[in-house]
Amino acid sequence: MKVFLAPMVGRTDKYFRKLARIISPNVVLFTEMITIDSLIRGNFKKYLIKDTEHPLIIQLAGDDKDKFIECTKIVSDQGFDEINLNIGCPSSKVVKGGFGACQIEEPAKVAEYVAAIKSQTQIPVSIKTRLGLGYDHDLKNIIEFIQTTSAAGCDIYYIHARNAILNGISTRKNRSIPPLRYHDVLKLKELFPQINIHINGGINNIDEIKNMLNIYDGVMIGRKIYDNPLFLTEIENIIFSNKNSFSIKDIVCEYISQLDSEEASNKQYALKHLTNLYKGTQLSKKWRIHLHNLINTSQPIDNIRNFYVENNYEEKKINCS
């Protein structure tokens, strides 16, 4: 039974992952997508991971077998629990680079990348993809894609349950306009019972997660968790039977105490993901103003605690539920 935090550029950086892990010991985390070129240029340092982050999956994107081999050598010592290939990104920049969603139509090439990565490491290799391209809902291409890439050794797939529409709509609209087709992911699960199929896209309540976990090997959730990180407490309580209890203040204080000095000095990045913690409560606006002031003045990050003094208020414990 697995629940995954979806990879999200600009969101699932080390700061948000730290926050997520404090709230949820059980959810499997993903890095943001990193291109093989960027990793090779040396940007991998920011992916040095801490023990507390596990389980953690790195997501790579690219279109060059030798570079995938080089990247595998770079990341395999760093302790990632899985290497994931992004074959679902519809962004025009990514597609222009020849990778992402357009590679659904190049199963043989992707199979080569899978085999190349596997020749260098024992770490499992997985693929995150979509059901197909454009407005065609035929599953022929994705079936061929899974057949070919699984024959090369990939047996874990994360399926965003909609097509990608390239050249026409924005990346953002590609996350809402192509209709969700859970029934087609189910067909894939039935066709490939021996393969791990994790479902993704539009899942935003606990009952859905429970139902999906009865069918699929795992459930991946992105925006719902980012928009409301406390949803992770429900997942912990109901899906993983974790009865820990803590207040939002406990989460914030633990988060601040886990930042090293470099992270703490990077206030903009360190604080932006905390914005939604009080969403939907009467403190939401005051909290956002407090964070904004902290980021835009020379105050040390520790002053975040002043929020609780100024508001002279004791929080209820959240019973992970």
- The region of 6-14, 72-80, 289-297, 312-320 touching ligand FMN under the rule CB under 6 A is 6-14
- Closer to ligand FMN by Cβ: residue 17 or 160: 160
Q: Among 107, 124, 132, 201, which residue sits at the site for ligand FMN (rule: CB under 6 A)?
A: 201
Q: Which of 10, 42, 193, 280 binds ligand FMN (CB under 6 A)?
A: 10
Nearest CA among 157, 42, 216, 296 for reference residue 288: 296
- Block residue for tokens 């040095």: 48
| Catalytic residue status for 253 | no
Binding of residue 6 to ligand FMN (CB under 6 A)? yes
Minimum distance, C-beta of residue 254 to ligand FMN, in the bound complex (Å): 25
Q: Strand pairing partners for 199?
A: 159, 219
Which phi-psi region, left, alpha or beta, contains residue 98 (left: φ > 0; alpha: ψ -120 to 50)? left
CB 15 within 8 A of CB 267: no
Phi, psi of 219 (to 5 degrees): -130, 135
Nearest-5° angle of CA 210, CA 226, CA 222?
Answer: 50
Strand partners, 29: 56
Regarding 89 and contact with ligand FMN (CB under 6 A), the answer is yes
Cis, bond preceding 55 (omega within 30 deg of 0): yes
Binding track, positions 131-170, relative to ligand FMN; x by CB under 6 A: -----------------------------x----------
Q: Give the tokens for residue 317.
A: 């414990």
Q: Which is nearer to ligand FMN, 197 or 304 (CB)?
A: 197
Near ligand FMN by CB under 6 A, which window of 40-48, 75-83, 220-228, 272-280? 220-228
> Largest Cα–Cα distance of the chain, in whole Å?
62
Residue 91 interacting with ligand FMN (CB under 6 A) = no
Residue with Cβ nearer ligand FMN (177 or 289): 177
The number of CA neighbours under 13 Å toward the Cβ of 107 is 16
What angle, rounded to 10 degrees, do the helices at 65-76 and 107-118 form? 30
Work out how close the CB of 312 gets to ligand FMN at its nearest, in angstroms, rounded to a whole number: 36
Which one of residues 8, 39, 165, 256 is an interface residue with ligand FMN (CB under 6 A)?
8
Of the two residues 9 and 169, which places its CB atom closer to ligand FMN in the complex? 9
Among 2, 9, 44, 69, binds ligand FMN (CB under 6 A): 9
Output the smallest distance, CB 92 to ligand FMN, in A: 14
- Nearest distance, CB of residue 33 and ligand FMN, angstroms: 3
164: which residues sit within 8 A by CB, 6+ positions away?
88, 89, 90, 101, 104, 130, 132, 133, 174, 178
Distance CA 122, CA 320 (A): 35
Residues forming the site for ligand FMN (CB under 6 A): 6-11, 32-33, 59, 86, 88-89, 128, 160, 175, 200-203, 221-224
Positions marked active-site: 89
